Structure 1
């Protein structure tokens, strides 16, 4: 896999590669090699779809998740190989500690929902190569709300107590995300409009690994900036959780970050070498802002301030992303950025003192969990979304490789 090869070429869309070599040394070669690596186990399973049948193959995957691979009659060797790796649980996983140390994190569920959109998802749009699969499959600009709900539903499942367990909903959803990636990768690799010389392999290991930064380092940092900081042991549990989720998603061990320091290194080389932002990246941001984040902020603000929702969204994005990326993405400047930046540390101090009162945590967490359920139900109702992931979304409109259209 990544550790067994050195790059023979550098994707032409990357920038500042020489500087990356100076700053990161041998890790730069690992990162560049990952531009040409997919997911051998999941890709091999998807290669069997034409013989097995798309629908039957996905049913086999679900059955293996729910009952074990031995319950799947006539399972292809590729699926058996995938689950042999999955059922070999890494010695470093301590799921019980993760569950124990993150049992109260839902107390900040209102803030974390905003951070998911304005920090985690938007941060990925500053890379025109990494976001290209969304463009070519038409999955975001056409329906920002649906895809955001899909991501949120997956995150809700994997963050539940037991959400990492072998036969949990979180495990199954994660494996389906992995196979969806492989289906998209196979489809794009065959298309003449996929420029491999410029972008590398579709949904390559390098950009797949960066998704862990999007769902761990970036949101943890953003939560601190808006005054909803987690406790140190909760942050450690988040990194441990996403290390295992990265393993389930097929990220090579050479790139799989173990802790905050390794995620920070991955973020730095990703941002340094990222391709230039293009108009599609800006369209993605405009879409999620217009169709999802602004309406959500309008619902949080007092009615008399609802008209300021676009400025609040722009202020949060500039705070989370920094001015360089925000300028690239054409996110407008607003004086509210400074207001929120100054307010965040004060709120952090207040909330940290509250968090140190252990007796306050269970009640706040119960209210947060109730909000999570209500929020998902409301979003599904408002956006008329009943499915969990795109492979189960209704047919019609633009075809998608995950559905076998």
Structure 2
């Protein structure tokens, strides 16, 4: 078990303001223009946390003004020109030519280059060390827990509409894996770092996808609100930070309390780069978990889109780790599905139509991970080999060479009609 690390100063979470704060009706009235799909869930969520529930549903109709403006200004460029422009701005130094670069892009990158005063680089290093020590467990928790939970919400609808389900699931796993790795490698989130650039690129992918969905009659704004809304980016951030830490603990990870808080601290900074409004952004592990719980309550029950995307994720996991033979793929997919069921709970797993099995897997994984650490402490050479194998598996999962240097964006609503991105 790693020793406790002194924790840096925490920034208190800013209070969430209701639409009519100070008015007795603030906790009883429904927010204006709430999308109809959220009405029932909001009623249940506001009984537990009126302010957070109100803030969440209010942001289901909000996009990302800065990134959306960039997409509008890049609209006349070809995919190759977009790649060249973004690479020039995100990778070039101060002396790089900014000729013909839209002001919206320059302003967005300039804003992203301002590291918040509360961001603690020492805590970021603590998070990096803990992540690298537990990387295999974190990635397993990400795939089997957090991503599946995210797809149980209306987040899944935008992915299902855009099509190529297996490809979309693999892309989602690859991008999330690479994002996570670069985010927690030392220096990755410094302005100009690999994690910083990947986060800004992902933000623009969200904005482009939002633009394509908004222009389609397949997305019902009155019912679902804004596609890839600020609320959904917030929910994903909470799932990939505080909620992820709970799944990691269940699988036998050895994050200390301070390391868990450091992990969420880095994701809080990533949330700023993703364009999550500061007024709703979580500040620590507890508030991230609370945000996920209340946001999930506001969401409508899982529908066919969630079932399709969640099952695509668990069935694509073997492909990600290089298992191609059908019998082995099916066997591993069954294991991943069972792990997911145990992490997310039977109620949600049943709604996703995951099969029920008598044999539990998570307790065995937890024991194996803990036993591995005991053996490593007793046999340093074994520990060194374990560390090397874990790091190589991490690099393989992230597949840096495939996506790392591309700044292209999707060009069509349906992915099969889009140019490569």
Please state which band the TM-score falls in when normalised by the shorter chain: 0.7 to 0.9
1:205-244 deviations in whole A, cap 9, x for unaligned?
1110011122112322112112223222221111011001
Matched, 1:9 2:25: no
| Residues 139/156 of structure 1: CA separation in 2 closer, same or farther (3 Å cut) | farther
Task: Measure the CA separation in 1 of the matches of 2:109 and 2:19.
Answer: 25
| Residues 293/12 of structure 1: CA separation in 2 closer, same or farther (3 Å cut) | farther
Bigger helix fraction: 1
Give secondary structure in 2 for the equivalent of 1:242.
helix
Task: Measure the CA separation in 1 of the matches of 2:145 and 2:256.
Answer: 20
RMSD between aligned alpha carbons? 3.4
Matched, 1:284 2:309: yes
Number of residue pairs aligned between Structure 1 and Structure 2: 389
How is 1:188-203 mapped onto 2 (pairs within 5 angstroms)?
A: 188-203=213-228
What's the CA shift for 1:175? 0.6
What's the CA shift for 1:361? 12
How is 1:204-353 mapped onto 2 (pairs within 5 angstroms)?
A: 204-293=229-318, 296=321, 308-337=331-360, 340-341=362-363, 343=364, 346=367, 350=371
| Residues 73/20 of structure 1: CA separation in 2 closer, same or farther (3 Å cut) | same
| Residues 88/350 of structure 1: CA separation in 2 closer, same or farther (3 Å cut) | same
| Residues 294/42 of structure 1: CA separation in 2 closer, same or farther (3 Å cut) | closer
Task: Measure the CA separation in 2 of the matches of 1:402 and 1:252.
Answer: 31
1:77-136 deviations in whole A, cap 9, x for unaligned?
212321232122210011233114432432323333322211121111111x22111012
What's the CA shift for 1:294? 8.0
| Residues 163/295 of structure 1: CA separation in 2 closer, same or farther (3 Å cut) | closer
Give secondary structure in 1 for the equivalent of 2:213.
helix
Q: Which residue of 2 aligns with 1:370?
A: 392
Between 1:240-249 and 1:67-76, the stretch displaced more is 67-76
Task: Measure the CA separation in 2 of the matches of 1:187 and 1:87.
Answer: 28
Task: Measure the CA separation in 1 of the matches of 2:359 and 2:84.
Answer: 49
Normalising to structure 1: TM-score of the pair? Answer: 0.84
Matched, 1:73 2:99: yes
Give secondary structure in 2 for the equivalent of 1:173.
helix
Task: Measure the CA separation in 2 of the matches of 1:295 and 1:270.
Answer: 29
What's the CA shift for 1:249? 0.6
Q: Which residue of 2 aligns with 1:399?
A: 417
* Aligned partners of 2:163 and 2:416 also within 8 Å: yes
Q: Which residue of 1 aligns with 2:45?
A: 20
Task: Measure the CA separation in 1 of the matches of 2:79 and 2:240.
Answer: 30
1:247-276 deviations in whole A, cap 9, x for unaligned?
111100012111011112211112212112
Unaligned runs of 5+ in 2: 1-15, 21-30
Q: Which residue of 2 aligns with 1:62?
A: 87
* Aligned partners of 1:104 and 1:361 also within 8 Å: no
Normalising to structure 2: TM-score of the pair? Answer: 0.81
Task: Measure the CA separation in 2 of the matches of 1:64 and 1:4.
Answer: 38
What's the CA shift for 1:30? 1.3
| Residues 376/247 of structure 1: CA separation in 2 closer, same or farther (3 Å cut) | closer
What's the CA shift for 1:386? 2.7
Give secondary structure in 2 for the equivalent of 1:256.
coil
Q: Which residue of 1 aligns with 2:3?
A: none
